[in-house]
Amino acid sequence: VAGKYADVDLVIVRENTEGLYAGRERLDGDTAIAERVITRHGSTRIVRTAFEHARKRSQARGQSSLVTVVHKANVLRVTDGLFRECALQVAQDYPGIALTEMLVDAMAMRLVRDPENFDVIVTTNLFGDILSDEASALIGGLGVAPSANIGDQAAVFEPVHGSAPDIAGQGIANPIGAILSVA
């Protein structure tokens, strides 16, 4: 890709079943409450997936990879603290892959300022949702960004934006996100 971000080649790996998207919400009078669910199993699984992906990228490129663990453990001490703890434990199984940590707000800034310094980014569900949408702007927007939802039993590959039924039949949909997802 020519232009300002010609040297960007990064992957964002996010947990996709937990966090605030677990759907645990309730009303208590005039107060809306959402529970953020982070498990050791989910955190370990997604961080291991990120490190395995980094290992494959490293082998394919013939150079070392970097995994950046994104969290907000300074404020969300219990939930992001658990996620961070799991990440540091998994990293010990991958001594050839560098690990760095970054708070999500700093990551949002650095992703725009110097995205070429990142390789594999791993984070929780909500943070990953926001950062992946932000990262898509580096390559042209949500309409061209690929994605994969990979579970233990099955996988779904689709453009980040989904199927865009609101523009079906108008001849204006860009198929690049779908093509890249298939690739």
Catalytic pick among 80, 94, 119, 129: 129
Q: Is 94 assigned a catalytic role? A: no
Q: Is 9 a known active-site residue?
A: no
119 a catalytic residue? no
| Residues 167 and 173 sit within 8 Å (Cβ to Cβ) | yes
Q: Are 177 and 161 in contact (CB under 8 A)?
A: yes
Could you say which of 105, 119, 152, 166 is catalytic? 105
Q: b/e string for 143-173 if b means 16 or more Cβ within 10 A?
A: bbbbbeeeeeeeeeeebbbeebeeeeeeeeb
Q: Name the active-site residue from 72, 80, 94, 119.
A: 72
Spell out the residues 6+ positions from residue 99 whose beta carbon is closer than 8 angstroms to its own. Answer: 66, 67, 68, 69, 87, 88, 91
The residues with which 19 forms a beta bridge, in sequence order, are: 37
Residues labelled catalytic:
21, 72, 105, 129, 133
